[in-house]
Amino acid sequence: MEDNYSKHTITVLVENEFGVLARIAGMFAARGFNIDALAVAPTENSKISRVTLVTHGHERIIEQIVKQLYRLVDVLKVQDLSDEDCVRCELMLVKVSIDSSQKEKVFAILEEYGGRIVDDYQGKILTLEFVKEHEVTEEILAALKSFKILETVRTGNIAMQKGGHEEAFYSADINEINE
């Protein structure tokens, strides 16, 4: 049976302690695994942070990554969301330089992709914001190629299971930290 080589979105709940992210990154580096995208933030419980990372590899590699993450002291839960019914999005800010003849085209792209202008510097430099799935942000960048792109900043994908999965990721193990 042949393994599938693909991208995987992995969510990790960790205790919000000093050095946790360094240990996760170190585990990846020590084993030669690559992190394609990484987002970290505290959850609604300030003692717990959620790490969302995108990596790639064969199924065996992903299984190994999940097992190794569970061995880290501050890791509470690990879940590969790649095959789950999830909401995935990436925040992207793009700064473009335009002239007055290009404004309509920018507005058309904003309307098509649900973006917005977050900064307008003298009508010549616009900072655009988009919140879409990774694949769509790639399409947006392609659509913006006709403008002079000055700067691009992206968060990488974050993901969360769709409704009805309250117990799938948060459980009694996590609730113990609230005490």
Give the domains, in start order, of the chain with CATH numbers.
5-85+162-178 (3.30.70.260), 88-158 (3.30.70.1150)
105 strand-pairing partners: none
pLDDT at 146: 92
Specify the pLDDT at position 177: 60
pLDDT the model gives residue 168: 53
pLDDT computed for residue 1 by the predictor: 41
Q: Are 28 and 82 in contact (CB under 8 A)?
A: no
Q: What is the pTM (predicted TM-score) of this model?
A: 0.79
Per residue of the chain (179 residues), what is the pLDDT tens digit?
Answer: 445 778 899 999 999 999 999 999 999 999 889 999 999 999 889 899 999 999 988 888 889 999 999 999 899 999 998 887 888 899 999 999 999 899 999 999 999 999 999 999 999 999 999 999 988 999 999 999 999 999 999 998 898 888 775 555 655 455 556 55
Which residue in this structure is represented by tokens 């930290």? 177
Structure tokens at 107: 């507005």
Q: Cα–Cα distance between 109 and 119 in angstroms, integer?
A: 16
DSSP letter at 29?
Answer: H
